[in-house]
């Protein structure tokens, strides 16, 4: 005769947090919606830097619809800290500030170049009255096409 | 700090004796209690202690500074913390790179235009540098490649962690 062992429902549906702490996962477990048991790394990573009680407090302080975003941002910051134990995601912020500075400098330089080119373009244009006089004098077209029709797009 | 001197900010907050070799003492002086309070609130003293113990001494000051920065960011923005700042800065970088690509494309387009036929009387008025630029540009013959490179500038010129920072697929 076989003995059938009933599966403990709470054991099979424990969230990653309760599994980590080897405790029963209650129906209203605050962690359960955000730390499913199929991704134990998420909690271990966040727990390493913030601690379960701090995470719980942070979750409790927020309305339910914002908690998922909170957990994901904590996970992101924790991963950054794993990659860079000294600076964490602050290293990324610093790098972005540098990129912005470089891009702003390059943009200013490029816009100055455009201004110079445009200024030279204006200088290169002969005045319209002189155009007429030249054509009229020689009767020869010196190629003085209207630049605004030919060059601009 | 050790016996006889004022306890560090962390030992003051945690109400314990500040040992001579207190790991927090060099980085959380007693005259700035807020610094440790905020780090303790977000990370917890024991986690901060573990993080510091895992680092060589010469890197701990920087680590504390970054933790303080992250904790402050988290206090200002309890949902996104530093990640909100990263997202904002990433957008700024993308916008600047796009503006730069457009500006550089405009220069190339200007260089692609034929040199105006200026009557002799006006040739001396044309800037020598601009003329040489136009002549050099007209001799290269690879404007198409240059344009393609510039237009793809925004997508290629970024070495930051891309996937987590895109707003649409932020949490992949």
Q: Which of B44, B113, B161 sits opposite A92 (nearest CB)?
A: B161
A120 confidence band (pLDDT: 50, 70, 90): confident
What's this model's pTM, rounded to 2 decimal places?
0.68
pLDDT tens digits for range B110-153: 887 766 555 555 545 544 444 444 444 444 444 444 444 434 44
Considering only CB atoms, A62 lies closest to which of B66, B78, B164, namely: B78
State whether residue A102 is helix, strand or coil: helix
The CA distance from B86 to B66, in Å, is: 14
CA distance A92 to chain B (A): 7
**Which two tokens mark B61?**
């000051």
Residue, of A122 and B77, whose pLDDT is higher: B77
What residues contact residue B134 under an 8 Å CB cut-off, 6+ apart? B111, B115
Residue B160 pLDDT greater than 50, yes or no: no
The pLDDT of B68-93, averaged and rounded, is 96
Question: Shortest CA distance to A77 belongs to which of B147, B10, B80, B11?
Answer: B80
- Interchain pair A90, B70: CB under 8 A: yes
Q: Does A69 touch chain B (CB under 8 A)?
A: yes
Residue of B nearest to A131 (CA): B119
Q: What does the alpha-carbon distance between residue A133 and residue A114 come to, in Å, rounded to a whole number?
A: 32
Asked if the C-beta of A36 comes within 8 angstroms of chain B's C-beta atoms, the answer is no
Give the pLDDT band of residue A117 (cuts 50, 70, 90).
Answer: confident
DSSP output for A33-97? TTS-TT-HHHHHHHHHHH-HHHHHHHHHTS-HHHHHHHHHHHHHHHHHHHH-TTTTHHHHHHHHH
* pLDDT higher at A123 or B108: B108
In whole angstroms, what is the distance from residue B149 CA to residue B146 CA? 5
Contacting residues for A21 by C-beta, under 8 A, at least 6 apart: A52
| Confidence check: pLDDT of A84 > 70 | yes
* More reliable by pLDDT, B161 or B41: B41
**Which residue has 């100055």 as its token pair?**
A112
Best probe of the A interface among B54, B77, B80, by most A CBs < 10 A, is B80
**Contact (CB<8Å) B63/A86:** yes
């Amino acid at each position: 005769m076989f003995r059938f062992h009933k599966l403990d429902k709470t054991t099979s549906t424990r969230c990653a947090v309760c599994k980590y702490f080897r405790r029963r996962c209650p129906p209203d477990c605050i962690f359960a919606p955000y730390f499913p048991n199929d991704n134990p790394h998420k909690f271990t990573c966040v727990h390493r830097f913030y601690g379960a009680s701090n995470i719980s407090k942070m979750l409790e302080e927020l309305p339910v619809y914002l908690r998922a975003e909170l957990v994901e941002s904590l996970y992101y910051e924790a991963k950054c800290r794993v990659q860079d134990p000294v600076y964490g995601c602050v290293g990324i912020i610093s790098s972005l500030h540098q990129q912005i500075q470089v891009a702003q400098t390059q943009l200013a330089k490029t816009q100055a170049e455009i201004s110079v080119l445009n200024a030279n373009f204006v200088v290169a244009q002969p005045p319209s009255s002189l155009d007429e006089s030249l054509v009229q004098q020689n009767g020869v077209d010196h190629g003085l096409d209207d630049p605004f029709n030919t060059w601009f797009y | 700090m050790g016996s006889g001197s004022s306890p560090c900010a962390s030992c003051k907050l945690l109400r314990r004796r500040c040992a001579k070799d207190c790991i927090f003492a060099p980085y959380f002086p007693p005259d700035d209690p807020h610094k440790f309070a905020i780090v303790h609130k977000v990370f917890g003293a024991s986690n901060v202690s573990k993080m510091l113990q895992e680092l060589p001494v010469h890197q701990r000051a920087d680590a504390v500074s970054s933790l303080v920065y992250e904790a402050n960011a988290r206090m200002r923005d309890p949902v996104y913390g530093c990640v909100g700042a990263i997202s904002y800065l990433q957008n700024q970088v993308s916008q600047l790179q796009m503006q730069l690509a457009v500006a550089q494309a405009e220069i190339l387009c200007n260089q692609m235009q034929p040199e105006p036929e200026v009557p002799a009387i006006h040739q001396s008025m044309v800037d020598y540098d601009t003329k040489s630029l136009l002549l050099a540009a007209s001799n290269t013959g690879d404007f198409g490649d240059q344009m393609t490179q510039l237009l793809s500038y925004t997508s290629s010129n970024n070495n930051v962690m891309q996937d987590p920072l895109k707003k649409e697929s932020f949490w992949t």
